[in-house]
Amino acid sequence: MPPIELDARASEAARVIRATLPEPPQVALVLGSGLGALADRLADRVVIPYAQIPHFPRPTVEGHEGNLVAGSIGGSPLLVLQGRFHYYEGYDLDEVTFPIRVLQRLGVRTLILTAATGGIALSLQAGSIVCLEDHLNLIGANPLRGPNDRRLGARFPDMSEVYSRRLRTFAYEEASQLGLDLASGVYACLPGPSYETPAEIRMLRTLGADVVGMSTVPEAIVARHAGLDVLAFAVVTNAAAGVSGGLISHVEVVEAGQAATPRLGALIERFVQRLDAEARPLPQQQ
């Protein structure tokens, strides 16, 4: 039997989700390592375990739960992917980015990605939050490799503004209202799972990277291919290798992610409310 096409798999997954969520939110959030508790901020939650969604992979990493959670944050609807899939787990990039295809089929328009990262720029510390302005795809593969299905997107999608300037402006404005320091930076995506060596971090700094991680970029590429607007927040959970001389552990990464969750949550809440307000028509003039 030939494999089921990506479009058919995504449509089937979306159909099953719609049986529980007939009108899914148009804004979705992907949670990175240690940031899973952000889903707890949602009111009126409806939880769909990934295991109940056809064709969805299952996360294997500690700190990543596997649930699609719908609800509202500060009164605005939001769909949360609590748990993501990484290339280093052994999934291919089609699997890693499958949830993004399902979001496309659900009618999601805006995608917010979050990630735990190592800080390369000396101005960043553990706990810093960085709004991504661009990325370096250093995974050594591209999720769009292979025959292109035109129903899903263009063969050669433009990547000159992966992270929407308009959405970044909203994020900075809302951060400033909160009195929260929001840095801006370039994310280098490596395949992992080993953390980088100090020499690799020096190389990444030379290449123009401010933070380093093992996720986000495949999802951002597919989201742009799918026509979604993308915004991404990196939480710096540790100084990258060789930057402070300390060793890096996954436990430290998860704990630092958890410590930053309330601040990131407050920012995301305001951002989602802002998007909601911008999408509403202006009140009629009398």
Rounded Cα distance between 276 and 286, Å, is: 23
CB of 173 to ligand HPA, least distance (A): 27
Instruction: Let me know if 225 is a catalytic residue.
Output: no
Rg (CA), the chain: 18
Residue choice 29, 130, 253, 272 for contact with ligand HPA (CB under 6 A): 253
| Residue 65 CA from chain centroid, whole number | 15
Rounded Cα distance between 235 and 61, Å, is: 18
Which CB, 26 or 216, lies closer to ligand HPA? Answer: 216
In 74-217 the beta strands, taken as DSSP E runs, fall at 76-82, 110-119, 129-137, 182-189, 211-213
Instruction: Let me know if 266 is a catalytic residue.
Output: no
Instruction: Let me know if 135 is a catalytic residue.
Output: no
Using the rule CB under 6 A, is 118 a contact of ligand HPA? yes
Nearest to 115 by CA among 266, 240, 236: 236
Span 169-228, contacts to ligand HPA by CB under 6 A: 195-196, 212-214
Active-site residue identified among 214, 223, 234, 239: 214
| Residue 245 CA from chain centroid, whole number | 29
- Judge contact between 147 and 153, C-beta under 8 A: no
**Locate tokens 């089609």: which residue?**
94
Using the rule CB under 6 A, is 238 a contact of ligand HPA? yes
Instruction: Let me know if 279 is a catalytic residue.
Output: no
Which CB, 73 or 239, lies closer to ligand HPA? Answer: 239
Site string for ligand HPA, 80-99 (x = CB under 6 A): --------------------
Residues annotated as catalytic (active site), given as ranges: 33, 64, 86, 88-89, 116, 214-215, 238, 250
Contact residues: ligand HPA, CB under 6 A: 116-118, 195-196, 212-214, 237-238, 240, 248, 253
